[in-house]
Amino acid sequence: MTTAALPSFIDPARIGPWGMFLEQLERVEPHLGPLAAWIDTLRHPKRCLIVDVPVRMDDGHIRHFEGFRVQHNLSRGPGKGGVRFHPDVTLSEVMALSAWMTVKNAAVNLPYGGAKGGVRVNPAELSMPELERLTRRYTSEIGSIIGPDRDIPAPDVNTNEQIMAWMMDTYSINQGSTQTGVVTGKPISMGGSLGRKDATGRGCYVVAREAMQRLGMPMEGARIAIQGFGNVGSAAARIFHDAGAKIVAIQDAAGTIANTNGINPHALLGFLNGNPRALLDYPEAEAIANADFWGVDCDLLLPAALENQITAANAGQVRAKLIVEGANGPTTPQAEDILNANGCTVLPDVLANAGGVTVSYFEWVQNASSFFWTEKDIHDRLDRVLTEAFQGIWDLAAARKVNLRTATYIMACSRVLEARALRGIYP
Ligand code: NAD
């Protein structure tokens, strides 16, 4: 990768997740034909906003947090992507996450560009009123570039439907009218969609089911190890379990538990009762070392926590035949080479976790028309969108003799760059 492709504000020595995205682009470039002439557009995020988020803490002093909203590409429609609250949030990370949204939205053919936001904060250290003030000030600061037709945030790591409710309310107050369509992942009572909460986990299941059929892997009794037991990981665990699979290991920020006979995710959620720190106390599984998680004997591995988890250092330990990337960017390009060489199929994030943004799209459509669908409508449409996307990408991978990530990037980047070329350069 040439450093000339880096925006000036990124330190070439510490390019992080954005560097990973650039490397993924390099891999797809030779497959894009004449559209490759436009690929530099994807190496330059359209708009990066860095905002100061001052918050009056409960004890009266003021703390400043750093907030970001990046709109990577808007060629196919308004920006769409989540908001993350995490102490490790950086501009590089938000840029990469926004770029992966561009690819993801195009991969499943949603009429959106890619965007992402974040605040560098550990929300566990804030009281509820402090979290609300932080959310409202951040929303107000990025208010000039978001909107139902401009850029539509959604939940991501450490953000949830309550935070979406505060974001929607703040934006609406500043606009002087109720704008339900400015965020998705809202509570049902204020314009949220049925089926949104579990949508990302359900999407992981749908694409895994399709891949397993083609790989000759039965769902009944399939052994699954899951990293991250939050929104994505816990929903996926329930849906896989209900379909007959067996959850044999779970790793979360609190540690790792395993049981070769299977962990019932419904029972575990009941035991945790909203307190994820109790994971290691769960009596129906044994605690194991975090480092042993990657080598757990399983058929399917589902990383659903953060990026950069499967690296060249641990990829060789993986025994799963299939990896389903619930998280964004969990596998480095070097790790993927090792996995592929060992006969492991990787369902890339930009396809595997697209269920969330797909139902977000359904929510946005419902908000725009003020007409709401049944949960069955949502599940059926989600299944159809993802199954069709999967089939197209699977066939393309076979035809071009490339892995599924490169095939997904070929499909998505071609759509984005075709729109870019047709729109042309202004002036
Ligand atoms: P979440 O905050 O609900 O859950 C994250 C989970 O990861 C938590 O259970 C946390 O304890 C765990 N975790 C954090 N650090 C960890 C570590 N070092 N080791 C092991 N576990 C760790 O977040 P989420 O919404 O479930 O998002 C998880 C991933 O899925 C992220 O990469 C996110 O970008 C991606 N994603 C989320 C959605 C969505 O709809 N929420 C959609 C697409 C992709």
User: Which protein residue has the closest C-alpha to ligand 1 atom 41?
Assistant: 156
Q: How many Å from the N-terminal Cα to the C-terminal Cα in the chain?
A: 30
Average pLDDT over residues 365-389: 97
The SS3 of residue 133 is helix
Q: Give the closest residue to 104 by CA, choosing from 307, 329, 305, 351.
A: 351
Going from the C-alpha of 272 to that of each of 26, 77, 278, 280, 289, the distances in angstroms are 43, 40, 6, 10, 20
Average pLDDT over residues 62-76: 98
pLDDT of residue 100: 97
Residue 267 CB partners (closer than 8 Å, separation 6+): 284
List, as one string, the DSSP characters of 290-338: GGGGGG---SEEEE-S-SS-B-TTTGGG---SEEE--SSS-B-HHHHHH
β-pairing verdict for 255-258 and 286-288? antiparallel
Q: Which two tokens stand for residue 152?
A: 């539509």
Cβ-contact 394, 404 below 8 angstroms = yes
At 7, the pLDDT band (50, 70, 90 cuts) reads low
CB-ligand 1 contact for 156 (6 Å cutoff): yes
Q: Give the closest residue to 267 by CA, choosing from 225, 307, 238, 236.
A: 238
> Looking at 80, 104, 116, 186, which residue is catalytic?
116
At 4, the pLDDT band (50, 70, 90 cuts) reads low
Q: Is the pLDDT of residue 12 over 80?
A: no
Residue range 147-165, pLDDT digits in tens: 999 999 999 999 999 999 9
At 16, the pLDDT band (50, 70, 90 cuts) reads confident
pLDDT of residue 13: 55
CB-ligand 1 contact for 327 (6 Å cutoff): yes
User: Which protein residue has the closest C-alpha to ligand 1 atom 34?
Assistant: 328
CB count in 10 Å sphere of residue 371: 8
What's the CA-to-centroid distance between 54 and ligand 1, angstroms?
26
Q: Give the closest residue to 136 by CA, choosing from 81, 97, 86, 183.
A: 183
Average pLDDT over residues 51-73: 98
* Closest atom, ligand 1, to C-alpha of 353: 43
Q: Is the pLDDT of residue 1 over 90?
A: no
Q: Is the pLDDT of residue 268 over 70?
A: yes
Q: Is the pLDDT of residue 366 over 60?
A: yes
pLDDT of residue 110: 98
What's the CA-to-centroid distance between 35 and ligand 1, angstroms?
34
* Calpha distance 169→19 (Å, rounded): 36
* Calpha distance 406→325 (Å, rounded): 14
* Calpha distance 227→74 (Å, rounded): 32
Q: Give the closest residue to 408 by CA, choosing from 100, 172, 53.
A: 100
The question of whether 116 is a catalytic residue gets the answer: yes
pLDDT of residue 14: 58
Average pLDDT over residues 351-367: 98
CB count in 10 Å sphere of residue 313: 12
Average pLDDT, the chain: 96
* Calpha distance 76→332 (Å, rounded): 27
pLDDT of residue 191: 96
CB-ligand 1 contact for 306 (6 Å cutoff): yes
For the stretch 232-270, what's the b/e string if a residue is b when 16 or more beta carbons lie within 10 angstroms of its beta carbon? bbbbbbbbbbeeebbbbbbbbebbbbbbeebbbbeebee
At 386, the pLDDT band (50, 70, 90 cuts) reads very high
* Calpha distance 364→180 (Å, rounded): 8
CB-ligand 1 contact for 158 (6 Å cutoff): yes
Ligand 1 pocket, mutate which of 200, 279, 288 (most atoms under 8 A from CB): 200
User: Which protein residue has the closest C-alpha to ligand 1 atom 21?
Assistant: 252
CB count in 10 Å sphere of residue 308: 15
Residue range 30-42, pLDDT digits in tens: 999 999 999 999 9
pLDDT of residue 279: 97
pLDDT of residue 5: 59
Q: Give the closest residue to 248 by CA, choosing from 240, 260, 237, 239.
A: 260
CB-ligand 1 contact for 358 (6 Å cutoff): no
User: Which protein residue has the closest C-alpha to ligand 1 atom 14?
Assistant: 253
What's the CA-to-centroid distance between 249 and ligand 1, angstroms?
16
